[in-house]
Structure 1
C-alpha cells in the first residue's frame, strides 16, 4: 500500500458495497478499507463517511481529512470524535441537476394537483380540470442559493414560473429572471409565495425555520417542498398546517430522524408526498474525484 489509505465507515450505509469498485476503477492508487480490514490504524490517512458513529474517528490517530459522500456534512461536523482536520463535501454539478429535476417535478405536482388525478384514476373517474395550469399563475420561492438553489431556480425559470430567491446576501452573480431577496425580507416574500422550496444548509439560524410561524405567513393553500435538512422542519407544525388547510400539501425528502420510523404520522397523511432522502445523490465517480482532489490539495499545502 504505497498510496493514501482510507477507511469507509458509516452507521447507515454499507460504504464499501457502494465505493470499493469505483475507488478501484477511478483511483487505484488509493486503498479503501472497512474498519475490520484495518491492521495498522496509524497508517489511515482519511475517512469516507456520511453519518458516522460517535466513536468513528477514535481508532485513527493520524487522520488528515474526512470526506462526505454527499453535499451535506452536518452529521460529520456534529460527531463528537471528529478531530480538528479538514472536512470535504461533494460538489457535483450532476447532483445539482438531479436536485433541479426533483424540485421541478414536485412544483408541478403541487401546482397541477397531480395527486387528485391519481385519486380519480383509482375511482375510474374522469375528473378533468382546466384553467389554472399556466406556470405564470404560481409564485415559487427558493430559499437557499448555493449550487443546488441556483440549479433549481434556473430550471423553474425555464418552465415559466415566477421565481424569487432568498439568500443571506445578494449574490455576486444574480440569476437572470429571478427576483433576488435577502433573508431580512423573508416575511414579505412568504406572503407572496404559492410554493416554497427549501434547500438551505443546516445552521443555528435555519434549524426549526419551517415552523408554525413561517407557515402562517404563507398564503392560504400554499405548498412546501422540503429538500434542505430534516431538522429545519417542525413536523408537528407541518401536520397542523396541513390539517387546518393553511398548507395544501408538502413534499418531504429529508427528516429529523432517518430512516423515518414506521410510527411517524407523516407516512399516512394524505397531503404528503414522502421520498427517502433521494432528491439527489452524487455519482460514485464524483465521490472518488472529490477524495482525490482533496488529498491532492492537502499534499500541495503540505509541500509549501
Structure 2
C-alpha cells in the first residue's frame, strides 16, 4: 500500500527518521507532489496538510495524524467526508504529559515561583507549606491522556475533578462533571485548571474571562491543549487582577510565540515551546500499520475520530 506525506510545516520523512525502514516492507511512503493527481494513493500521514492536498488523491481512504491532535487535519478545506481521520494513541505520551502537568501543579502548590524571586533578591523567608489536599485540581478533558493525568494526581493525594462534554464513568478518587452546568460547578471548586481539550468550535476561546472568574481566587492555569483555547488578553487581565496567581503555557497562536508577545517576559507565566509531551515514533508506526490493515480489509481504522465531534 502507498502512503503519502502531507505537511506544509514539517518534513515528515525526516521526522519519522529511523522508523521508515520498519514500514517499508508493507507500506511505501511517498512524498507529496504540488501538481497532478495520484490514483494509487490510499493512505496519508499528515500534520497541517496543504489546503488542496486531498484533492490530488481521489482514492485516498484514511489519513493518520502524527499525534493525538487532529484539528489541523479536520480544518483542511480539501478533506473529503469519506476519508477517515486517525489519531495516534500512545501510553508513553500520556505518561510524559502527566509528568509535565504534575511538575507545574507542585510548582504552584509549593510556591516555587515565590522562592525563585526570593533567591533573586537574597531573601530568606519560609512560607507556610500547603498540603496536597488543600489544592483541588480540575481537568478539562478526560480522554486517554486526561485519565492518566487524573490517576497520577489522585495517587499523589490531590483532590481531582474532571470535566467532559458528556457524562463519563469515573474511578474512585476522581469527581466527574459534564455539560455547561457541570463546568460551572467544577470551576467554583477549582484552584488549578489543566486544559487537555481537543480543539472544536465549542472549545475555541473557552479559557476566557468568564472561566477564570469562576475559579477560586489565586488559581493557576496549565494550558496544554491548543493555543486557540486561550483568550490571551483575558489571561493577562486575570493575572493583573490576581484572580490567577500564575500560568504555565505550552501552546500558542501562532507558533512559535512571537518575539514581542507579553507572555515571554511576564513574571507570572512560564512559557515552554509546545514540548509538554511528544508521541513516540513507535506508536506512529503502529498506527500506520493498523490503518493499512483496516483499509485493506474494508474496515474503519482503529482510533478514527468522529468527524462531527472533532475527536
TM-score under structure 2 length normalisation: 0.89
Which residue among 211, 214, 217 is the counterpart of 2:211?
A: 214
Residue in 2 aligned with 1:158?
155
- SS at 2:193's partner residue? strand
Correspondences of 1:237-256 after superposition (within 5 Å): 237-256=234-253
Residue in 1 aligned with 2:173?
177
1:214 CA drift (Å):
1.0
Residue in 1 aligned with 2:74?
77
1:266 maps to 2:277: no
Aligned residue pairs total 298
Residue in 2 aligned with 1:102?
100
User: Cα RMSD over matched residues?
Assistant: 2.1
Gaps spanning 5+ residues in structure 2: where? 301-311
- SS at 2:39's partner residue? helix
Which residue among 109, 112, 115 is the counterpart of 2:110?
A: 112
Bigger relative contact order (CA 8 A; separation at least 6): 2
| C-alpha distance in 2 between matches for 1:113 and 1:55 | 49
| C-alpha distance in 2 between matches for 1:58 and 1:262 | 36
Seen in structure 2, the aligned counterparts of structure 1 residues 216 and 268 have a Cα distance that, compared at 3 Å, is same
C-alpha deviations, 1:87-133, integer Å up to 9, x for none? 1000111111111111111111122122223333334x253424333
1:23 and 1:30 in contact (8 A); partners too: no
| C-alpha distance in 2 between matches for 1:14 and 1:282 | 16
- SS at 1:28's partner residue? coil
| C-alpha distance in 2 between matches for 1:201 and 1:153 | 17
| C-alpha distance in 2 between matches for 1:200 and 1:148 | 10
2:9 and 2:48 in contact (8 A); partners too: yes
| C-alpha distance in 1 between matches for 2:9 and 2:112 | 33
Seen in structure 2, the aligned counterparts of structure 1 residues 5 and 245 have a Cα distance that, compared at 3 Å, is same
TM-score under structure 1 length normalisation: 0.91
1:44 maps to 2:24: no
1:252 and 1:273 in contact (8 A); partners too: yes
| C-alpha distance in 1 between matches for 2:222 and 2:245 | 12
1:56 CA drift (Å):
2.4
Which residue among 281, 286, 289 is the counterpart of 1:289?
A: 286
| C-alpha distance in 1 between matches for 2:125 and 2:24 | 54
1:43 CA drift (Å):
2.2
Seen in structure 2, the aligned counterparts of structure 1 residues 190 and 37 have a Cα distance that, compared at 3 Å, is closer
Seen in structure 2, the aligned counterparts of structure 1 residues 130 and 26 have a Cα distance that, compared at 3 Å, is farther
1:83 CA drift (Å):
2.2
1:90 maps to 2:88: yes
